[in-house]
């Protein structure tokens, strides 16, 4: 099955965060491809990837970057596919620099932006976009959301049964 989502990161140091998008796409059975590309270090290759993404069958691009975080915007500037930006936390500014760089795109170059290190939500958003035209992904997404609901209701029931102190103590184990 052809990948429908590309998970792109500016550096291999972003892989741990970006793996959360891959995990949720695996769970929802959405085919994807991962790539390490850099707007600053391999600008031409990054632009070529983004320009050819639609032709290759991708439907959504997820781009994670830290610091100047130019990757999502540079990709969005050369494609008509939806781009989801994931700001990666940095040591110096804890990801606020990344968040502001990604979310403050100029008019005409939209990038949907999730929270700092929010790759899981980026994967879910990509799946939701694909679910608008893929019934099997829509079904998997509905089941995922139902399981989330059931998990919360079970936790609530347990909290009421054992009380907050015991619940917290057991959670810390």
DSSP 29-66: T--EEEEE--TTTSHHHHHHHHHHTTTTT--EEEEEEE
Q: What is the pLDDT of residue 173?
A: 86
What are the φ and ψ backbone dihedral angles of 50, each rounded to 5 degrees?
-65, -40
Q: What is the domain range of residue 171?
A: 140-173
In the annotated binding site, the residues are 11, 14, 41
Q: Are 57 and 4 in contact (CB under 8 A)?
A: yes
Say how far apart CA 52 and CA 68 lie, in whole Å: 24
Regarding whether 122 and 39 lie in a shared domain, the answer is: yes
Report the distance separating Cα 66 and Cα 137, nearest Å.
Answer: 30
Same domain, 70 and 119: yes
102 and 144 share a domain? no
Examine the domain organization and report whether 164 and 104 are in the same domain. Answer: no
- Residue 1 is predicted with a pLDDT of 85
**Residues 128 and 145 reside in one and the same domain:** no
Widest distance between CA atoms in the chain:
59
Q: What is the model's pLDDT at position 92?
A: 86
Please tell me whether residues 156 and 71 are part of one structural domain.
no
Q: How far is it, in rounded angstroms, from Cα 84 to Cα 63?
A: 6
125 & 148 share domain: no
| Number of domains the chain contains | 2
Cα(170)–Cα(164) distance, rounded to whole angstroms?
A: 10
Together in a domain, 85 and 114: yes
Please give the pLDDT value at position 61. Answer: 98
Q: Which residues fall in the annotated binding site for substrate?
A: 11, 14, 41
Find the radius of gyration of the CA atoms of the chain: 18
Number of H helices, E strands in the chain: 7, 5
Per-residue pLDDT of the chain (173 residues; tens, 9 = 90+): 899 999 999 999 999 999 999 999 999 999 999 999 999 999 999 999 999 999 999 999 999 999 889 999 999 999 999 999 999 999 889 999 999 999 999 999 999 999 999 999 999 999 999 999 999 999 999 999 999 999 999 999 999 999 999 999 999 98
125/150 same-domain check: no
- In this predicted structure, what is the pLDDT of residue 42? 96
Q: Say if residue 24 is in the same domain as residue 86.
A: yes
């Amino acid at each position: 099955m052809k990948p429908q989502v590309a998970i792109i990161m500016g550096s291999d140091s972003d892989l741990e965060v970006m793996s959360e998008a891959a995990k949720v796409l695996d769970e929802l059975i959405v085919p994807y491809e991962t790539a390490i590309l850099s707007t600053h270090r391999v600008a031409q290759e990054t632009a070529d990837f983004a320009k050819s993404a639609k032709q290759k069958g991708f439907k959504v691009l997820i781009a994670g970057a830290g610091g100047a975080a130019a990757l999502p915007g540079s990709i969005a500037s050369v494609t008509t596919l939806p781009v989801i930006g994931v700001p990666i936390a940095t040591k110096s500014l804890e990801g606020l620099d990344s968040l502001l760089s990604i979310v403050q795109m100029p008019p005409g170059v939209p990038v949907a932006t999730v929270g700092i290190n929010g790759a899981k939500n980026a994967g879910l958003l990509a799946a939701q976009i694909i679910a608008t035209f893929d019934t099997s992904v829509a079904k998997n997404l509905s089941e995922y959301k139902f399981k989330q609901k059931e998990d919360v209701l079970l936790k609530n029931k347990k909290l009421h049964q054992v009380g907050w102190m015991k619940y917290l103590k057991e959670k810390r184990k």
